[in-house]
Amino acid sequence: MQLPCFNVFKDIFYSSNIKKIPDNIYEILTPRGLAFWIMDDGSLQGSGLHLNIYAFSNEGVDKLMFVLQDKFNLRCSIHYNRDNKPRIYIFKESMDNLRTLIITYFVKEMIYKLGL
């Protein structure tokens, strides 16, 4: 509300103030965007990584999983927290590939989220 220049993003990711995954997520999610997403909502889980996606519908979660698997070649699955909220788990086997894709966009204070 303070900076109207960001309204374009609100319009893409919200419908009636409800978070949504846009139909064109495959085209708009880039390695840089993935890096920012992980810095914000990612957490190291063992040798893999969780992406917290609690606010999205099952359809949205499926869209995100498809993009991570198809566009970025990441092996992942859906895990649920104690409150039965979904999160995407990126397997250990994909972590090297993930790091290669996004490391240049990470700020040094967040590198720990990649297990480095």
Q: What is the pTM of this model?
A: 0.86
> Does pLDDT of 1 surpass 80?
no
pLDDT 10s digits, 90-99: 999 999 999 9
pLDDT 10s digits, 78-91: 988 888 888 999 99
Contacts of 38 (CB under 8 A, 6+ apart): 49, 51, 102, 110, 113, 114
> Would you say domain 21-114 falls under CATH 3.10.28.10?
yes
d(CA 62, CA 64): 5
Question: What does the pLDDT average to over 8-21?
Answer: 86
Per the model's pLDDT, the better-predicted residue between 106 and 81 turns out to be 106
pLDDT 10s digits, 28-78: 999 999 999 999 989 998 899 999 888 888 888 899 999 999 999 999 999
Question: What does the pLDDT average to over 8-32?
Answer: 90
- pLDDT confidence bin for 19, thresholds 50/70/90: confident
Q: Are 80 and 87 in contact (CB under 8 A)?
A: yes
Contacts of 49 (CB under 8 A, 6+ apart): 38, 42, 43, 89, 90, 95, 98, 113, 114, 115
Q: Which of 2, 76, 60 is nearest to 26 (CA)?
A: 60
